[in-house]
Amino acid sequence: MKLSFVVSIVAITLAMGCRKPVEEIHVASADLSSEAAPIKFSANDWPVWRGITGDNKAANPLPPLQWNNAKNVLWRADVPGRGHATPIVSGERVFVATSDAGEETMSLLCYNRSTGERHWERELHRGGFLHTHQKNSHASPTPACDGQRVFTAFTVQDALRVSAVDFDGEIDWQTEAGPFNSQHGYGSSPVLFESLVIVSGDNRGPGFLAALHRETGEIVWRVQRTNRPSYSTPIVAHVAGRNQLLLSGQDQVTSYDPSSGEVLWTTDGPASTTANTMAWNNELVFATGGYPQNGIVAIRADSGEVAWKTDDRGYVPSPLAIEDRLLVIQDRGVAICLDAKTGKHLWKQRLGGNFSASPMLVGEHVYATDEAGKTIVFKVTPKFEKLAENNLDDGGFASPVICGGQLFLRTSKQLYCIAEKAEALQEQVVE
């Protein structure tokens, strides 16, 4: 009995040790977060998850409203392996993250924007794959690009590992941001802020949020989060007069200072597990869940006070804030339009199909793609106004990307560029 008791105590101690919180790291200098070359992009680029403005809203011109495998396809290219990562676009390059479960490799691909020709494929990790849910992939996080490097986040060998790859496909640096105990895999994309690339490490423990220096890979700051899995991507929003790093999940919504990781405010809800990115307008931020709870919550960005909440489900597709409205597409294909100030339902429309991709807005037009490869184009007016329905041969989970009048769609096997015609891109560099 005594030996059995001792063995049990040792086992419990080891198990607790595996969940020991990560060491926190804090900014040594108040202005360290600005010590890097500025992030550069063109108005015709889509360099990160949710786009340049972080709200999944694209600038005009409008891409085609209608297409199929033969109509309005500028080019299509094979994508080896499997992944749910959305493509990103920087200048004449399109980058896609992918994985090969058989070879246990994780890679970054680079394509020519005008022709679809694959320039290179860079293997970043081999072996050490972690368990994932059947609807997840080993390459779900969307890469991020600062105009000089492409940053990827993969969970492999029991850790969250961030890589920086230059435009020639050479690895600049690789850093372990923290340990990762996988339940259903990983799905959070890196976000850029000044000199930082920020990643969420929500998992079964120990959880964390970390910021790495874009040029060196050094961890600038890292803060602890609870030991519960969640899959949301953080986002930086300039709201209530300051930059706020917003992240939902683990039964709360948290606003951080993106320069330091300092908590600005926290609010309960909307769910234990969330799997999307928050939205915002001038005064409010919006979070949706989830699992096991359902809910949409609007929070005052200056105080963290709840303005309103509903029990509507909004799990995987990210919400879209459109002027005084909020659009939520549910996994099972129902679109809900709410009044952003009150949470009152304005309309509810069944789109059909199952949705994991997030809707995006260009002008007055919403593009929403389901898992079977069907994209519905509609307007969010006082009433639902459907404009087009388009189908491709194979489906997928990646969200559509629109920039420079072109629509990029990553399906389960291919990458499409949808466009009326090949037009010269007018470069407008923004810093």
Higher pLDDT, 9 or 75: 75
For residue 381, is it within any domain?
Answer: yes
**279 contacts 270 by C-beta, under 8 angstroms:** no
Model pLDDT for residues 262-310, shown as the tens digit of each residue: 999 999 999 999 999 999 999 999 999 989 999 999 999 999 999 999 9
Q: What number is the average pLDDT over the span 85-91?
A: 98
Assign 29 a pLDDT band (cuts: 50, 70, 90).
Answer: low
Q: 5 in a domain, yes or no?
A: no
Q: How many CB atoms lie within 10 A of CB 228?
A: 16
- Report the CATH number at residue 280: 2.130.10.10
Please report whether residue 37 resides in a domain: yes
Partners of 210 in the β-ladder: 199, 222
Q: Are strands 360-362 and 57-58 parallel, antiparallel or unpaired?
A: parallel
Number of domains in the chain: 1
For 213, residues 6+ apart whose C-beta sits below 8 A from its C-beta are 36, 195, 196, 197, 220
**Within-domain flag for 9:** no
Nearest to 88 by CA among 148, 147, 52, 46: 46
Q: Answer yes or no: is pLDDT of 6 > 90.
A: no
Report yes or no on 403 lying in a domain: yes
Answer yes or no: are the C-beta atoms of 251 and 274 closer than 8 Å.
no
Check whether 430 has a pLDDT greater than 80.
no
Q: Is the dihedral of CA 271, 274, 276, 282 positive or negative?
A: positive
User: What pLDDT, on a 0 to 100 scale, did the predictor assign at position 293?
Assistant: 95
In a domain, 49, yes or no: yes
Q: Is pLDDT above 90 for 431?
A: no
Type of residue found at 102: G
Q: To the nearest whole number, what is the mean pLDDT of the chain?
A: 92
- Over residues 313-323, the pLDDT tens digits come to 999 999 999 99
CA distances from 397 to 72, 85, 316, 391, 409 (A): 21, 8, 10, 14, 10
Q: Where are the beta strands (DSSP E) in 22-170?
A: 41-42, 57-58, 73-78, 88-90, 93-100, 105-112, 118-126, 144-145, 149-156, 159-166
- From CA 206, how far away is CA 97, in angstroms rounded? 26
CB hemisphere CA count around 27 (13 angstroms):
19
428: confidence class by pLDDT, cuts 50, 70, 90: very low
Please give the Cα distance from 156 to 241 (Å, whole number).
38
Is the per-residue pLDDT at 15 higher than 70? no
The residues near 87 (Cβ < 8 Å, ≥ 6 apart) are 46, 94, 95, 96, 142, 398, 401, 408, 410, 415
DSSP code for 372? T
12 within a domain of the structure (yes/no): no
Q: Which structural domain, as residue segments, surrounds residue 212?
A: 21-422
DSSP 8-state symbol, 102: T
Q: Is the residue at 336 inside a domain?
A: yes
Q: Where are the beta strands (DSSP E) in 242-383?
A: 242-249, 252-256, 263-268, 279-280, 284-289, 295-300, 306-310, 320-322, 325-329, 334-339, 345-350, 360-362, 365-369, 374-380
Contact call for residues 52 and 41 (beta carbons, < 8 A): yes
pLDDT in tens, 102-141: 999 999 999 999 999 999 999 999 999 999 999 999 999 9
Residue 99 scores a pLDDT above 70: yes
What is the Cα Rg of the chain in Å? 21
Does the reported pTM lie above 0.85?
yes
In whole angstroms, give the CA distance from residue 405 to residue 46: 12
